[in-house]
Each structure stands twice: as C-alpha cells, then as structure tokens.
Structure 1
C-alpha cells in the first residue's frame, strides 16, 4: 500500500550517466523489489560499482566533448562548498502523502524526533488514490541507486511490501524530490483500522540513510 515529473526524469538521466561513466558496461538487474529486511534473492548477485567522486566523474573522458557537455548539464560546473563530514551524505527531510481528495497534504517532518512520529497517527480515507513524495538532500558526493522501501502491517501481520527505485542524484544546495507511483488505499468495512508502516531509504551499497516508523488509520472519511 501506500509517473514521471521533471525531477524524476532528471534522476533517471543521472542514473544513465552514472552507468555510462562508472559501470563501464557492467549492468546488473535492478528491478523494483518487494522487500522487508533483505533484498529479494534476484538481487543477491548484484555488485554495486566502485564509488567515484563528483570531481573524478567530471575529469573522465575529457576528450569526448559531447559527454563533457552532457555532464556539465547534469552535474554543473561549480564546486560546492566543503560539506561538514559529520552530516549524512543523504538527509531525508520529509515524506508527503498527496491526494486530490484530501483536505490538505499529509506531511511528516523527518528532521524531528522520529520516536514522536511513531506515536502519531495520520488519517487516510478508504479507497482513495494517493502518491508519496520523498524530500531529501544530497551532500558532498553523488549517491547511486537510491531506493525507498516500506512494509505495512496490521495487528502485527504484514499486509504489504513496496520498493521504489528513486535513482541517482548529485549533491546540491536545494532539496531533491521524488514522486512515487500512484497507489490506491483499500476499501470496505473489513479494511478499516490502524496500520503500522516502516519506511527506509537505502542505496546501491545497502547503506540505510533513514529508517522510521509511522501509523495511519484507514477510515470511512477524512474527518474520522
């Protein structure tokens, strides 16, 4: 439980650039996976490419003017100020649930106390179509193969597992955004009630940048 805009397209193009410059033809199967605590067996043989710095990528293939121009478009030409090494390479700042029928977007501030977020419950109307938007900031170096995962459970029983390939992104001062594909909430009396969700954002190297838990009540209407 629980489309392609400009930000998502840019992430996909950057993913292609990363593959062209760093993978050197070693393409692996990177299908979206349904996961909980480990990747699906189909992904166990996948080996992430060696990490290259942003400046190393800029310096590669200097004689290929078309590629140089392409990299300037995606990566920019200016060097960012040195980031604090104590700051995470990827900072997940918000998760927003967007629904045309909702009174207003449902937003989780992920920079605050996550234990308090776990105690809070959001309200979701049954049967509606919605999309999740992930807001995050990339610091210092390119991050490759970001994935968003979540596991939804009810009364301790897993009812859904989802994984979205978010893509690869360059560091920049502004936040990146990724809009997940549309989902439809279940409907009917039997589906109503409290659900628990565990979400996390990882990368190709299986680094976990944020792991958090939240809850929602599936109701007959938004106001319940």
Structure 2
C-alpha cells in the first residue's frame, strides 16, 4: 500500500463506526484536447497615445518628425506608437497624412488601447464521465478502465462556450490592474492521445445506520470526486449489499 492510499484510508477510518469493505483502483478515461485561440489585451491608454490620436483627429500630420516637434518628444517614441496604432487598425495613412479609423475613434473615446490579437495554444482535459473539463495532469492508462466510463465525445459536439469555460479553468484570461486579457475567438481544436486519471475507490460501511457508500480519490485533480461517488452508489449499492452481507 502506498503512502497516499494509507493516508486516505486512515482518514476515512478515524470514525470507529466506519468499516472498509474493499479498495479498488482503476483509471478514468480523459480526452486530451489542444485549443488554438486568439487573445486580445486591453490596457488603459497612456497620455502620449491619446495626444497623438487627438492630433490625427484634428490636424493633418504626415510624419513622426512633425509630431515630435509639436509635442517635444523624441521621434523614436512617436514612431513606435504610430507603428503600434497602425497594426491595431486605429489609424491609417491616406493621401500622405494620418487619420483616425472608426476603431481609433472608439478607443480614444473609451480611453482603452486594444492591442492586436495574438495566437495562443493550450491543452485541456475533458472527462466524458463528468461531462466537464478537469484541471490536473492525466497519465497513460495502466489500470483497469472505470467500469461506468462514458464514450468519448466528438469535438463537433462541443459548444464555443464550453471551450471558453475550459480555458477559464486554466486562467488564460485575466484582469490585473489596468490590464485585461480576453479570449477573442476559438480558432481550432484538435484531439490528442487519450490519457487517464488514476482513481482509488474505497467501499465503506457506516455501521451505526447500516449505510453503504463510496469515496473516490481522483489522483489527477487531487480531490475526493463526488461525481464518480454518486455514479457508483447509484448503480451498485444493491449489488454491494448482496456481495458483502450475503451471509
């Protein structure tokens, strides 16, 4: 018996009225899925960017040097900000002069700079038996498969909101002070190899009220798994009573 199993068993049996009937180990199938997505970072617009946008909205400027002279700022700083605003679709150069786009006007009014989208990639883990994504590291399945396991779910059956919820569990999106990172779009999903979550099942008898029940430790999540416990008790309690108390 390994140290984890011993610790869990000892914790369960602290109540002297609880008896351990059997311990079973098995693996829960886990779908490993790669998600590709676009993120967008939003930050509070700095004063220099605001000044440039106002300048482009009210006057005709053709170069960073002109703005540098007017604002008394090094041309390199001006060029860097102009380049970022062009990439973000906030300004365009037409007829030799810069002008605001509708995106630029909206961001100036909101005082929020929305940076160009960036491609990201994350791996998520879906448990068909839970009908949800789990957080943790699965392993290659070496134990017997969970007897009530549900078939794998086809990727085209997932909704966009479910992929976003899976990414939320990984804290992909966040808000930190004046910086907000959001998932703008899910661009692709690909299923990788199937793995598993090792589990330890304890079958228990509470003698004071003659109650049978299961506790399942999910080694992937590092927690007691109430979903699996409920499934097992729903399907097997009658069978357990016959098996363990037939005489």
TM-score, normalisation: structure 1: 0.24
TM-score, normalisation: structure 2: 0.23
Q: Which gives a bigger RCO, structure 1 or 2 (Cα 8 Å, sep 6+)?
A: 2
Which has more helix, going by share of residues?
Answer: 2
